[in-house]
Structure formats: C-alpha cells, structure tokens
Amino acid sequence: MRNVFGIMARTAAAAVLSLAVATGAMAADPLTINGAGATFPYPLYSKWFYDYSNANPGVRFNYQSIGSGGGIKQITEGTVDFGASDAPMKDADMARMPGPVFHLPTAMGAVSVVYNLEGVASGLRFTPEVLVDIYLGKIRKWNDPKIAVLNKGAKLPATDIIVAHRSDGSGTTSIFTGYLSAVSPEWKSRVGSGTSVNWPVGLGGKGNEGVSGVVKQTPAGIGYVELAYAKQNHMTYALLRNRDGHFVAPTLEATSAAAAGAAKTMPADYRVSIVNAPGKNSYPIAGFTWLLVYKNQTNEAKGKALVQFLKWAFTDGQKMEAALDYARLPKPVVDMLQKTLRQINYKGKSLY
C-alpha cells in the first residue's frame, strides 16, 4: 500500500511540475508584430501568419485588413511595424516618411470583374471600351448592343446594371483604375487613377469583402475584386480582351504571363505596374502587392523577427500562393528581395 501511495505522490509531484513548466511557458508572452493595410492579399497573409506562428510560437501577428490607404497612413504614422498596399507610394509620399521604406512584393494577383446575373455563368466577354463605358455610366443596361454583340447566345436581361466599387482607399482600386486609365484617354482625363477616385456611378463597399458582398446581394450587379475573393465566394467573372486582342480569364497562369516582362526589368525599388501588359496569354488587370517596411528599424527584437518572417515568406511561403489563387513571385525577384532584406538594420547592424 505504501508503494501505491508513493507512486501516487510521485505522479502528483510530476503533474505539479509539468503544470509549473507549462504556466511558465504561457507567462512568456510571444512577440507581437503589428501590421495593417491591403485587403487584396488578406487570404494569403492570414494563412502565412497562422502557419508561421504555429511553427514559431514566440512570434505572432496582428494584421488589420483596412485597405491600402489605411496601411500607408499607419506605416507613415509609425503605429504599425509594417504596412501593406497594392498601390506603391508616390515619390511625394515617400518624401514625407520619417525614414527610408522598402516596397517588398509578396505576391501577384488578378482583379476579377464579377457580376450577378441569374442564369448567366462565368465567361461573359468585355472589351476595354465596354468596361470603361459601364463604369462611366454610359452603358446602363445588361442587354446593351455593345455587350450583346460580344456575347451572342447569352441571355442578357433588359435590366439596369448596378455598379459596385470600393468606398475606402484601396490598392485594388488603384490597379483597376490604373487599367481603365491605360486603355481610355477619357477615363484618364475625367476620373484618373489612384487608391481613391470620384466615381461617376455606383455603390460603394468597404474592402474586397464589401464589394463581393454588394455584388452577391444585388441582382444585376457588377464589381471588381481580387481573384481569391471571387473564387471563395463562388462568383461569376468576365473574360477581358487583352492588349493583344485575346479574351482572357483571370487565372494564375494569365497573371504570371502579365508579370513575365516586369520580372526581367524589375526596378530596384520594386514599384512597377503590370496592367495592360503585352502577351496573348496576359490577363490585363493584374498587379503586385507589397509590404511596406522601414529600412532602419527602431526595435531590434521586432525588426529581427520581421526579417526572419520575410525570409520565410519569400521561400517556403511562396509554395502556398497557388492554392489561395495568388501567383508566386518569379525567381529573379525573390533573389533581389533576399539582397534587399540584408539592408534592413538596427542602428546600422543588419538584421538578416
């Protein structure tokens, strides 16, 4: 009996010790890296942060998906450790920053033109001129002859087109309006491009999530969202006539084709547009998305943790992109990024 009690006592002591070790481990809070910005890459970033934190429990991420405009604002004000944007900052914006900021591309994505028409599947064809006229409010009905002639056999209703667009500062909007400006002098002079514009027509939705919601809930609606949102929400999307005259769907292959030229001539600061790219297989509304990171870090521990994460994101993280409907970075760009990461420092000492 004494042996039994002895075993029980030793077991209880081991349990208490295990609890103490576990409690001590829990007491050491993980390092939290804060970020904010683009909704365009949010499905990808969510996966990255989750998987990386599981493998590295000493680091966790707090990312607010508030739009590219919000990401630029917060990194400028220094309220986050990194920003995220689908629109590169302009030179004037860079000059106002408290220090040098790197634009680090993380992925490429397609901006899909989505619609909600009962009985009409994906595959409606739009030319650049038709898409511009819809967003200028010149084409108002789904059965307009300019749409019908491109889509013979499609049952297009004689209903008003309900246009949806972003209501917040948005890199997705920057890519979309950058494309409309590239293909239409009238759009460029009347509306222009940027993260926010004065829309001639339409209903606003916040984030890619908001525009997806507006289109899904609005019969006869049309909008623009990142491909991942279109697929995750089972939305129908259009084929667009590209610069070489071919109608192309928003796919990973077509996005990579659009970036092929840019990968060969990538500028040192990575700020490049790939809208309306040449090539018969290129999807015309595609773009990079960037993380905005200060070259000179003010917190050594956070800076080192962020650099280690970025090294992972540009290698192992790239393997996750296709499953989430993003195109992975070309190898020459990844090689460039590894060199750029070596420049991120704390008081002159590289954190790589």
Same domain, 135 and 229: yes
Share of residues in the chain with pLDDT > 70 (%): 92
What is the token pair recorded at 248? 């192309």
pLDDT of residue 263: 86
> What Cα–Cα distance (Å) separates residue 116 from each residue in 4, 156, 164, 224?
72, 11, 11, 12
Among the candidates 228, 248, 264, a domain finishes at 264
- Asked if residue 273 belongs to a domain, the reply is no
End-to-end Cα separation, the chain, in angstroms: 61
Task: Tell whether 46 and 162 lie within a shared domain.
Answer: no
Question: Is the Cβ–Cβ distance between 283 and 271 less than 8 Å?
Answer: no
Question: Quick check: 127 and 163 in contact, CB under 8 A?
Answer: no
Largest CA-CA distance found in the chain, in angstroms, rounded: 95
Q: Predicted confidence band at 264 (pLDDT cuts at 50, 70, 90)?
A: confident
| Predicted local distance difference test score (pLDDT) of residue 112 | 98
Which pLDDT does position 48 carry in this prediction? 98
Q: How many angstroms separate the CA atoms of 65 and 82, rounded?
A: 12
Q: Look at residue 5 and tell me if it is in a domain.
A: no
Q: Examine residue 203 and state whether it is found in any structural domain, yes or no.
A: yes
d(CA 243, CA 171): 22
pLDDT at 17: 35
Write the pLDDT tens digit of every residue in 110-168: 999 999 999 999 999 999 999 999 999 999 999 999 999 999 999 999 999 999 999 99
Domain count, the chain: 2
What's the whole-number average pLDDT of the chain? 92
pLDDT digits (tens, 9 = 90+) for 226-241: 999 999 999 999 999 9
The domain boundary, picked from 264, 297, 331, lies at: 264
In a domain, 283, yes or no: no
Question: Are residues 234 and 332 located together in one domain of the fold?
Answer: no
pTM above 0.75, yes or no: yes
Out of 224, 249, 264, pick the residue that ends a domain: 264
Asked if the structure places residue 326 within a domain, the reply is yes
- 82-85 and 286-294 as β-strands: parallel, antiparallel, unpaired? antiparallel
Do 194 and 312 reside in the same domain of the chain? no
* 168 and 255 within one domain: yes
Q: Are 92 and 75 in the same domain?
A: yes
At 41, is the pLDDT very low, low, confident or very high (cuts 50, 70, 90)? Answer: very high
Q: Give the model confidence (pLDDT) of 90-114 as tens digits.
A: 999 999 999 999 999 999 999 999 9
Residue 274 near residue 174 (C-beta atoms within 8 A): no
Q: What is the DSSP pairing of strand 101-115 with strand 236-237?
A: antiparallel
Which pLDDT score, from 0 to 100, does residue 28 have? 65
Residue 3 belongs to some domain of the structure: no
Examine the domain organization and report whether 74 and 123 are in the same domain: no
**CATH number of the CATH domain containing 212:** 3.40.190.10
Q: Which of 293, 317, 325 is nearest to 307 (CA)?
A: 293
Q: In this structure, are 298 and 244 located in the same domain?
A: no
pLDDT digits (tens, 9 = 90+) for 298-352: 999 999 999 999 999 999 999 999 999 999 999 999 999 999 999 999 999 999 9
Same domain, 238 and 93: no
Quick check: is 280 in a domain?
A: no
Considering the domain architecture, whether residues 162 and 253 belong to the same structural domain is answered as yes
**Are residues 209 and 315 both part of a single domain?**
no
pLDDT, position 35:
98
Q: Which residues contact 222 (CB under 8 A, 6 or more apart)?
A: 113, 114, 115, 116, 134, 161, 162, 163, 164, 215
- CA geometry: angle at 47 spanning 42 and 49, to 5°? 90
Q: Are residues 103 and 117 in the same domain?
A: no
Inform me whether the pLDDT recorded for 2 exceeds 80: no
Distance CA 130, CA 315 (A): 40
- Domain annotation covers residue 67: yes
Confidence label for 16 from pLDDT (cuts 50, 70 and 90): very low
Domain range for 48:
10-17+23-108+289-350
